[in-house]
Structure 1
């Protein structure tokens, strides 16, 4: 009886390890970023499917308390990590343009703001409806982190450092 239990447990462990190996080596993780290009604050184009460095995409709204609360922390992360990554804050299509522009003018954060006035960007990222929602995209275009709710800053900062060790 003990022998059968050991064999079943062994098969379970082998199956678990095989699944883990598949997910870490052969899987696309959270998938490929959509083929979307946004214009950065310096006028540079950022192709989110093939960025030159990690990109944190943050969907937000002026009516979202969590979004507004995390903006200073996003700015602090950008200041700390500097050119190691790009940060793109995308406002939702239901957010009035004048309200978004007023917020951006009153809060000159050190990252790129993009207005998704037609909802195409939210749709491209899997129909984002809730804010804040963030995606970390690796330089190879793979989405390596996705969060509905406020960003896990320590985890995301470490992932960015791992993906851009040269800077």
Structure 2
């Protein structure tokens, strides 16, 4: 082996070692990226106030939607089914209508569709901003009992996967 070949072999080993280090660091950072739910206050259609701190110890869904969103309207019966399947002391659901959704439409939709979960109107867009800049509807967050966001779902969820995630979160200790 020549000096030049030995040097190339050493460089290849160093490059391989650096690649492994980069992969390990990336994996470590990805694991640490679990975001906490932001401190937020929901003013419900009932006038009641509910905070993310109040929901600590529960698994809950925060679903950003709009009455003008075809996918939101399509998925709403399944969201109702999801709520009814899991409702109880360890589970909650807050539907957040977007700031551009007329309040009268939201109230009418909530009443006529008999939405069984909590509904709030994000009149000033502050909830959209606090929840990591929601821009698209539907956007659904699954939050665990410790207040960590387990999943952010853009668009209609795969309801089998969605329900499995909720079941797994409910099975975890508070």
TM over 0.5: yes
TM-score interval for Structure 1 and Structure 2 normalised by the shorter chain: 0.7 to 0.9
Report what 2:127 is aligned to: 121
| Contact 2:45 2:121 survives alignment (8 Å) | no
The alignment partner of 1:151 has SS state of: coil
Could you tell me which runs of 5 or more consecutive residues in structure 2 were left unpaired when the two chains were aligned: none
1:41 and 1:153 map into 2 onto residues whose CA distance is 26
User: Which 10-residue stretch deviates more, 121-130 or 12-21?
Assistant: 12-21
2:107 maps to which of 96, 101, 107? 101
Larger radius of gyration: 2
Q: TM-score, normalised by structure 2?
A: 0.78
The question of whether the paired residues in 2 share the 8 Å contact of 1:28 and 1:142 is answered with no
TM-score, normalised on structure 1?
0.80
For the 8 Å contact 1:34–1:124, the answer to whether it is kept is yes
Query: What RMSD over aligned residues (CA atoms) do the two structures have, in Å?
Result: 2.9
Q: Where does the alignment leave 5 or more consecutive residues of structure 1 unmatched? A: none
Report what 2:39 is aligned to: 35
CA displacement 1:143-166 (0-9 Å, x = unmatched)? 110012112322222222122227
Decide which moves more: 41-50 or 156-165: 41-50
